[in-house]
Amino acid sequence: MTTLAPNRPTERWERLRHWGTDRTRRLPGEIGHLLRRHWALVLLLLAGVVLRLLVVIAYNPALWYQGDSQSYLGLAYLKEPGTIRPYGYSFFLSLLLDLHSVRRIILIQHLMGLAVVIAGYVFLQRRGVSRLVATLAVAPLLLDARTAALEHFLLAETLFTSLVVLGMLALTWRQVPGWLGVLVAAGAFSWAATTRSIGMVAAVVPVLYLLLRRVDWRKTGAFVAILVITLGGYVVWYHGHHGQYSFGTYGSRFLWARTMTFVDCDKLDLTDEERLTCPDQPIDKRLPPDMYLWGPGSKAEFKTMPDEVFGSFAKKAILGQPLDYLQLVAKETWQTVRPGPYPDDRVACIASVWDFPKMDDTGCAPHMAPQNPAKRRFAGLARDHEHALMNPLNRYSAVATVPATLVGLCFLLAVVLAFYRPRASSWRDYLNPLAWVTLAFGMIIGSVATSMIDPRYTVPSLPLGVIGAALAWQRFRAARQAPDPATPQPSVPSQSSGAPETSTAAASAETTVSATGSEPPTDVPAR
């Protein structure tokens, strides 16, 4: 009698069908349990979504910052690198031009902002941070008026923030970065470096992190190689369009303008061509840096001189007056992160551009973007736009804008907590929180050192700072609970002489994990 062989594909299909049916039946209960467990985050997330929906309704289709927005959108159509601003954000826009709608592009940016919050919360839970601390950490990102406002601009800040957060999440997701994390981080930081100039400075932090954590040299080499290949390729691409190997024709001009506020040309050995770029005003009457770039303070020969002249001048000014330069950077960094009013009316005016504009505003205000990106030009002043929600949202900006002071406090808190009871764990366990807050505070210092005070430049540091502070708090709690290695521990007698030694080893390993704050096994759910 012939025995029929079992139909294995059919059996596999049946098992898969039963598994899918069972998962579908259990899914509502699992979702309900998840929502109840993280109810605080859910409420905050709903508040953040409502805020962004009100912004989308009030300022349809988007807000526009004249100069920057026009440049980004124009380069997206030209598909070539710009002489002033990097191409990274324009590349992002070029991927979305087929939507033929600025509003849809802005909706994607708002979703990116919400994704940063959710990813940060999940990461903190994975690293053992309590639900309360994780919720408090991401709350400013959801409710901050300036963050929501910048998401509504055709500007690079939202993309840049998403990229640097993605890069740090990929690097620190596991206690020791794996290949996938290193490659994702390398790609994210490479794109960030071609999105905003400060991204090239930011890329130094993950490289130092990999070196200090003593990650496999092949992974560190792969990260650096991807970064170098990306930036080198960009320079070659720029040469093909503009005839010089550079990231932009205005790179040195920004640093030159920064030196205009303190330089004393009589103290420097300048060429005749460099001396033409000296400021005309005495030191106590100098203009803000951007006025030497775009305002009446700029000179007729400004646009005709090669960028190398400005770069050489800036180098001589900084090296010739290093204390003046460092004093300027320290002073303006403090003015950026200190509590209280802005240092002068001009900075206050710039800051008000990043508030939600109100109707008939007589102060500094942005423009409105066109409905179709193909227009590539603003559609009028935001103050002339009319909607009943504009004035309430403007009042919300006045009370719900998170200052850069929070980033400074997060940096200070993380540094202090990271070195609490250092003998209780390996010094490398401090690297995760320190990497996050160093990148956050370092980008603020870098922006001040190379450009000027602008509250817009501090917004990408906010998620990095709060996540780093939450990680530092978790390490602080772990260090408090861990026994001090300098204190002798009482020996625990074994219950029987025949007890296996593996139980003692397991207890020792458990104590070590608790002390170091190392990552729990992936099959153990986070709190």
64 strand-pairing partners: 367
231-238 long-range contacts (CB < 8 A, ≥24 apart) are: 231/190, 231/193, 231/194, 231/200, 234/81, 234/86, 234/87, 234/194, 237/81, 238/81
In angstroms, the CA 258 to CA 289 distance is 5
Contact 286, 261 (CB under 8 A): yes
In angstroms, the CA 481 to CA 82 distance is 54
In angstroms, the CA 490 to CA 454 distance is 57
Q: What is the pLDDT along the chain (527 residues), one digit of tens a residue?
A: 555 555 566 777 766 666 666 666 667 777 777 778 889 999 999 999 999 999 999 999 999 998 899 999 999 999 999 988 999 999 999 999 999 999 999 999 999 999 999 999 999 999 999 999 999 999 999 999 999 999 999 999 999 999 999 999 999 999 889 999 999 999 999 999 999 999 999 999 999 999 999 999 999 999 999 999 999 999 999 999 988 888 888 878 889 999 999 999 999 999 988 898 888 888 888 888 888 887 765 665 566 788 888 999 999 999 999 999 999 999 999 999 999 888 888 888 899 999 999 988 777 889 999 999 988 888 888 888 889 999 999 999 999 999 999 999 999 999 988 777 655 566 667 889 999 999 999 999 999 999 889 999 999 999 999 999 999 998 888 777 766 655 565 655 544 444 444 434 444 443 343 333 344 443 334 44
384-391 long-range contacts (CB < 8 A, ≥24 apart) are: 385/59, 385/357, 385/359, 386/359, 387/57, 387/58, 387/59, 387/60, 387/359, 389/54, 389/57, 389/58, 390/58, 390/59, 390/356, 390/357, 390/358, 390/359, 391/358, 391/359
Please calculate the CA angle 131-202-339 and round it to the nearest 5 degrees. Answer: 65
Contact 118, 23 (CB under 8 A): no
Residue entry with tokens 């087929």: 98
b vs e for 316-343, b when ≥16 Cβ sit within 10 Å of the residue's Cβ?
bbbebbeebbeebbeebbebbbeeeebe
CA distances from 413 to 11, 212, 435, 482 (A): 58, 21, 13, 20
* Cis ω for the linkage preceding 289 (within 30 of 0): no
pTM reported for the whole predicted model = 0.86
Strands (E), 253-307: none
State the greatest distance between any 2 C-alpha atoms of the chain, in Å, as a whole number: 109
pLDDT at position 525: 40
Helix (H) or strand (E) holding 368: strand 367-368
Contact 463, 139 (CB under 8 A): no
pLDDT at position 379: 81
**Domain map of the chain by residue range?**
61-248+338-480, 249-336
63 strand-pairing partners: 153, 368
pLDDT at position 140: 96
pLDDT at position 341: 86
Residue entry with tokens 């704050």: 517
Q: Is 12 helix (H, G, I), strand (E, B) or coil?
A: helix
pLDDT at position 235: 94
Residue 424's contacts (CB-CB under 8 Å, 6 or more residues apart) are: 479, 482, 483, 484, 485, 515
State both tokens at 49.
């979504």
State both tokens at 249.
């024709």
In angstroms, the CA 38 to CA 360 distance is 42
